[in-house]
Structure formats: structure tokens, C-alpha cells
């Protein structure tokens, strides 16, 4: 019985165990297309998802990742209201047409207007009286308001330029330019405000052509929820989240599976569930109606699950096993954890993933919420696992179990990662490496890479040979950091 456990033992592979074989190709890196799927109904131009960790993804990261073609998943290690505010902030950061327009009345005090502007982070309002548009007030009007002015009707622009609700963006652009205005209220036949187009949103949309946007022109964003927190899931959907990521260390659990079935009945947006690492787990989760799978148990740089619990599957093997099962139902797979270089992304996609979830590679960027620090003269940012003592002790995250009222078994550590600059440069380098790898393989699309990629197993000597060797690196390139955790 016990001997049998080892006679047919399976061998598992991770990123450093293999390389992809180069092939005869006519594909140039600049020609490849890297658009892919995150879930059944969410497409991305860049196959990157930012991890729902409290040192990785809040509003600033989610906005940046979406603008550059991926999608961010806001962590849940906070109250429902705090998470909801972040979701709303991301959704309001861009919009082709703003539908939930904040308005003020002519009798509103200027003091109150300034407070609303600060609280809501807006720079102007249509002014309505009895639901009808009578003026517009911007921050510029406030700046030039005299000291004696106390109410909106004293400083607002009364000759308002407006447009019908069915106007297209090109027509709106022309009106904004011709009249040298920044905001264009949209009105119905009764002169009631039904929308707002801003010059800033039009310019931003053109600046980020690859952004992941919904049908309203708003950036798309995901929200992490606990497997049993249906109320949080409903709140996130109500606040505008485009994707829910059911966030648990072990999703192949009877209680989780039963809860997913209930959640599926209550939620209409896409649900990604994880984490898992086997084909059987994939089949069971797919049967609950989920729209995507998150793969990875223990591969992350700050995760200690494999050491503390003795559990896990080397990441490339986990990806391929799950993808094999998911492919039958056309369910996308997100490879979560273990990725240190752009070449690892190429390998993950070739193994069957549709996208990758990044933690440590994004934690060091300017947009992450981690704390900045200087260590030995070099800039770092804090980074911790959601199974670390610090994360668990907040009392909100239940991703990892608690044993007893006040006792914890940590499955993660807290540390720091080198500062990497702005997230757009990190994504540029990672996607440049991905495109290069696809060129070597002869894959013009991510689907081609999944189908054509062939692996070769390497030895420890082969790994050593793969990295720079027999040289002292004097200048560190942006896509290969000398510092290793």
C-alpha cells in the first residue's frame, strides 16, 4: 500500500525545470498579437492580472493595469465599504459618457461645492433647477470667484453648451474644441441632464488605446471575495465590478464548492475561482458554473504553504493539468504565482494558461500600495503574503484558516521587493519578452503559443547556463534584476 505511493509517483515541473524549443518561423515579435482571455466573457489585450494582495492591488494599481491592457483585482483585506469605494474610484476614473452625473443647485453654497469637489474628486458640476439644466460650474469658475460670492448662481456659467444624448464621441469632441470648453452636459428633450462628456476622458481614451474597458467606456476591474461572502459579492457587483475572484487557498473543498453554486445563482458577472492545482479540482469547480480558474498552490515568492503544510504541485505541471480539463469546457486559466521573469510568462502560456497573475513583479512599482523603504542605499517596497501573520491578524481575510480564537498558522512571509518604477515600464518589458518568446516559437497569437510550444527538460547545469555567468554585471537591465529573494 505505502510502497505503491512511490512506484507510480508523478513528476512535477516548474519554470526553472524546462525551456521552450525554438522552431522554424516566419513570425517576427513585432507582428504577434497577445490579446487573450481572463474569464469566459472578459478579454484583455495584455494577458496580465494583478494579484488581490494588500501590498499589490488597490485603486492606483487597478487603474494602471487596466489602462495598459490587463485587469486588476482589488484585494479584500478591508471592509466591504472600503473595497466598494475603490471599485467605484476605478470605474469613475474614465468613462466615454458619465451617466451618474453629480449635479448641484443654484442655491448651493460655494463652501459646500468645494467640499464636494474634494470628497468626490471632481472638477465641475452641471447646475440644475427643478431637474432642468440652468448652468455649469467648474473649478476654474471657483478660482476666479470674488470674495463676496457665496452661492453657485453668482459664479456659474449660465449660457451652457449642451448636446443631445445620442451624440457620438467625434461630434462631442468637435463641440468641446469649437467652444473651448472642458465639459459637455447631455440633455433629453426636457433639458434634463442625462449624461456628461469631458475633454479629459476623450484625451485619456486616446492616450490608452489598449485599455481594458467595458461597453460604457469605463475601465474594467475585478474584486476579490471570500468563498462564503455572498453579501460582499453582491455589493461588489452592485458597485460596478466586472469580475469576481473567489479568493481561497484551497478551492477544492466541499464547502467552497457548495457555496460557489449558491453564489453563481446570485451573481451575473463572471466568477473566477481558485486556487487549485489539479485536473479533478478544475472539473469540480467548472461544474459549479464558474467562468475562470486560478491555478497555483504554493509557488509565490512569499508563500510557505508547501513547506508548512507539505502541499502543492510544481506550477507548470499544475497549469497544464488544470488547462487540460478546462479546455474541454473552454474555460480560461489564470496562472497565479512563481513568475519572476518574462520568460516564465511565455512558459506559463505555452503550458495552457490564458493569462498570468502577478504579485511580486508588481509590488515594487510606484502604483502598488506597499510602503517605500531604503535598505543598504537601495529603494524597496513592502510585500507580504496574504497568509502572513500581518495579513491574517487584520481579522478580515479568511483566505487562510485560523486555529483557535487568537492563534494562527502562517503560510506566508512579510518582506520587501526592489523598487521597479512605474508599472507601464514593467509591463512593457514583460510583454516585450513574451513577444520575443512567441517569435522564437513561431506563434502569432497566444492560442498558437499554447498549441505550438514544446518543452525540453533541463538539468541544474542547464539552468546555470541559462543565466548570465562568468561575469560581473556592472549595469543592471530593466528586465533582469540582479537582486534575488
Q: What is the pLDDT of residue 229?
A: 95
State the pLDDT at residue 397: 54
pLDDT at residue 406 tops 80: no
Maximum pairwise Cα distance, the chain:
90
The pairing of strands 222-225 and 71-74 is parallel
| Sequence-separated (6 or more) residues with CB below 8 Å from residue 167 | 175, 186, 197
Residues 145, 155 contacting (CB under 8 angstroms): yes
51 touches 66 (CB < 8 A)? no
pLDDT at 477: 86
For 289-309, write each residue's pLDDT tens digit.
999 999 999 999 889 999 999
**Start-end of CATH 3.10.580.10 domains in the chain:** 110-199
Q: CA triplet 297, 302, 307: central angle to 5 degrees?
A: 60
Q: What is the pLDDT of residue 485?
A: 41
Please indicate whether residue 152 or residue 261 has the higher confidence score (pLDDT). Answer: 261
* 399 labelled catalytic: yes
Omega prior to 275 cis, within 30 of 0: yes
Give the mean pLDDT of 140-150: 76
pLDDT at 202: 87
Q: What is the DSSP string of 318-347?
A: HHHHHHHHHHTTT--EEEES---SHHHHHH
pTM over 0.75: yes
CA dihedral angle for residue 88, residue 210, residue 431, residue 445, rounded to 10 degrees: 120
DSSP structural state of residue 21: P
Integer Cα distance of 284 and 477 in angstroms: 44
Residue 178 has pLDDT above 50, yes or no: yes
Residue 297, all three cell numbers = 498552490
17-58 per-position pLDDT tens digit: 999 999 999 999 999 999 999 999 999 999 999 999 999 999
DSSP H helices, 103-222, are 110-120, 139-143, 152-155, 169-179, 199-207
Predicted confidence (pLDDT) at residue 169 exceeds the cutoff of 70: yes
- Which residues touch 376 (CB under 8 Å, ≥6 apart)? none
Other Cβ atoms less than 10 A from the Cβ of 410: the count is 18
Choosing from 67, 92, 213, 303, the catalytic residue is 303
Query: pLDDT-derived band of residue 287, with 50, 70 and 90 as boundaries?
Result: very high
pLDDT at 183 over 60: yes
Task: State the Cα–Cα distance between residues 322 and 277, nearest whole angstrom.
Answer: 7
**Tens-place pLDDT, residues 407-458:** 677 788 888 999 999 999 999 999 999 999 999 999 999 999 999 999 999 9
The model's pLDDT over 196-219, given as tens digits with 9 standing for 90+, comes to: 998 888 888 889 999 999 988 899
Per-residue pLDDT tens over the stretch 97-131:
888 889 999 999 888 998 998 888 888 899 999 88
The answer to whether residue 312 scores a pLDDT higher than 90 is yes
| Of the candidate ranges 14-23, 74-83, 281-290, 460-469, the one whose mean pLDDT is the lowest | 460-469
For residue 63, the model assigns a pLDDT of 97
C-alpha cell at 305: 504553504
In this prediction, residue 326 has a pLDDT band, given cuts at 50, 70 and 90, of very high
Provide the terminal-to-terminal Cα distance of the chain, rounded to the nearest Å: 40
Say which DSSP state 389 is in.
Answer: H
Neighbours of 62 (CB within 10 A): 30
**pLDDT value, residue 24:** 95
Q: Which residue has the higher pLDDT, 341 or 201?
A: 341
- Residue 70, pLDDT > 70, answer yes
Exposure string for 222-254, b = 16+ CB within 10 A, e = fewer: bbbbbbbbbebbbbbbebbbbbbbbbbbbbbbe
Please check the confidence at residue 267 and state whether its pLDDT lies above 60: yes
Calculate the average pLDDT of the chain: 91
The rounded percent of the chain whose pLDDT value lies above 90 is 69
pLDDT higher than threshold 70 for residue 71 = yes
User: Lowest-pLDDT range, 20-24, 34-38, 147-151, 368-372?
Assistant: 147-151
Q: Quick one: pLDDT at residue 320?
A: 98
147 has pLDDT over 80: no
For residues 339 and 15, the answer to whether their CB atoms sit within 8 Å is yes
Overall CATH class of domain 110-199: alpha beta
CATH 3.20.20.70 domain extents, the chain: 9-94+209-459
- For the domain 9-94+209-459, what is the CATH code? 3.20.20.70
Q: Is 285 left (phi over 0), alpha (psi -120 to 50) or beta?
A: alpha
Which of 76, 399, 420, 450 is labelled catalytic? Answer: 399
Q: Does 303 participate in catalysis according to the annotation?
A: yes
Which of the two residues, 334 and 483, has the higher pLDDT score? 334
Share of the chain above pLDDT 70, in %: 95
Spell out the SS3 assignment of 230-283: HHHHHHHHHHCCCEEEEECCCCCCHHHHHHHHHHHHHCCCEEEEEEECCHHHHH
Amino acid at each position: 500500500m505505502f510502497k505503491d505511493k512511490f512506484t507510480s509517483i508523478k513528476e512535477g515541473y516548474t519554470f526553472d525545470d524546462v525551456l521552450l524549443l525554438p522552431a522554424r518561423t516566419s513570425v517576427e515579435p513585432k507582428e504577434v498579437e497577445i490579446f487573450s482571455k481572463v474569464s469566459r466573457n472578459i478579454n484583455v489585450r495584455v494577458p496580465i492580472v494583478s494579484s488581490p494582495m494588500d501590498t499589490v492591488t488597490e485603486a492606483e494599481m487597478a487603474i494602471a493595469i487596466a489602462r495598459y491592457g490587463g485587469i486588476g483585482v482589488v484585494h479584500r483585506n478591508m471592509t466591504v465599504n472600503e473595497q466598494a469605494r475603490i471599485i467605484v474610484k476605478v470605474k469613475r476614473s474614465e468613462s466615454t459618457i458619465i451617466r451618474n452625473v453629480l449635479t448641484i443647485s443654484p442655491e448651493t453654497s460655494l463652501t459646500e461645492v468645494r467640499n464636494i469637489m474634494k470628497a468626490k474628486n471632481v472638477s465641475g458640476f452641471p447646475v440644475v433647477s427643478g431637474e432642468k439644466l440652468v448652468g455649469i460650474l467648474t473649478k476654474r469658475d471657483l478660482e476666479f470667484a470674488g470674495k463676496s460670492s457665496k452661492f453657485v448662481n453668482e459664479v456659474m456659467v449660465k449660457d451652457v453648451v449642451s448636446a443631445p444624448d445620442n451624440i457620438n464621441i467625434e461630434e462631442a469632441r468637435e463641440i468641446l474644441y469649437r467652444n473651448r470648453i472642458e465639459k459637455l452636459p447631455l440633455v433629453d428633450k426636457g433639458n434634463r441632464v442625462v449624461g456628461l462628456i469631458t475633454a479629459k476622458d476623450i484625451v485619456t481614451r486616446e492616450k490608452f488605446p489598449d485599455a481594458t474597458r467595458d461597453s460604457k467606456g469605463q475601465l474594467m476591474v475585478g474584486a476579490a471575495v471570500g468563498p462564503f461572502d455572498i453579501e460582499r459579492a453582491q455589493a461588489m457587483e452592485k458597485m460596478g465590478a466586472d469580475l469576481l475572484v473567489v479568493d481561497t487557498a484551497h478551492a477544492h473543498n466541499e464547502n467552497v464548492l457548495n457555496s460557489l453554486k449558491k453564489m453563481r445563482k446570485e451573481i451575473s458577472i463572471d466568477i473566477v475561482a481558485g486556487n487549485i492545482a489539479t485536473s479533478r479540482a478544475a472539473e469540480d469547480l467548472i461544474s459549479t458554473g464558474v467562468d475562470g480558474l486560478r491555478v497555483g498552490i504554493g509557488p509565490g515568492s512569499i508563500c510557505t504553504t508547501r513547506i508548512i503544510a507539505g502541499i502543492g504541485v510544481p506550477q507548470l505541471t499544475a497549469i497544464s493539468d488544470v488547462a487540460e480539463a478546462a479546455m474541454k469546457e473552454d474555460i480560461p486559466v489564470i496562472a497565479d504565482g512563481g513568475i519572476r521573469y518574462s520568460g516564465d510568462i511565455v512558459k506559463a502560456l505555452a503550458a495552457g494558461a490564458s493569462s498570468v497573475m502577478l504579485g511580486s513583479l508588481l509590488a515594487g512599482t510606484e502604483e502598488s500600495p506597499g510602503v517605500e523603504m531604503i535598505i543598504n542605499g537601495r529603494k524597496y517596497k513592502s510585500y507580504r503574503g496574504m497568509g502572513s501573520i500581518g495579513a491574517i491578524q487584520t481579522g478580515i481575510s479568511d483566505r487562510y484558516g485560523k486555529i483557535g480564537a487568537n492563534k494562527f498558522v502562517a503560510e506566508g512571509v512579510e518582506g520587501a521587493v526592489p523598487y521597479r518604477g512605474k508599472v507601464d515600464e514593467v509591463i512593457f518589458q514583460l510583454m516585450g519578452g513574451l513577444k520575443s518568446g512567441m517569435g522564437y516559437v513561431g506563434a502569432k497569437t497566444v492560442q498558437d503559443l499554447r498549441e505550438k510550444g514544446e518543452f525540453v527538460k533541463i538539468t541544474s547545469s542547464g539552468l546555470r547556463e541559462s543565466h548570465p555567468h562568468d561575469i560581473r554585471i556592472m549595469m543592471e537591465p530593466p528586465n533582469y534584476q540582479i537582486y534575488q529573494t
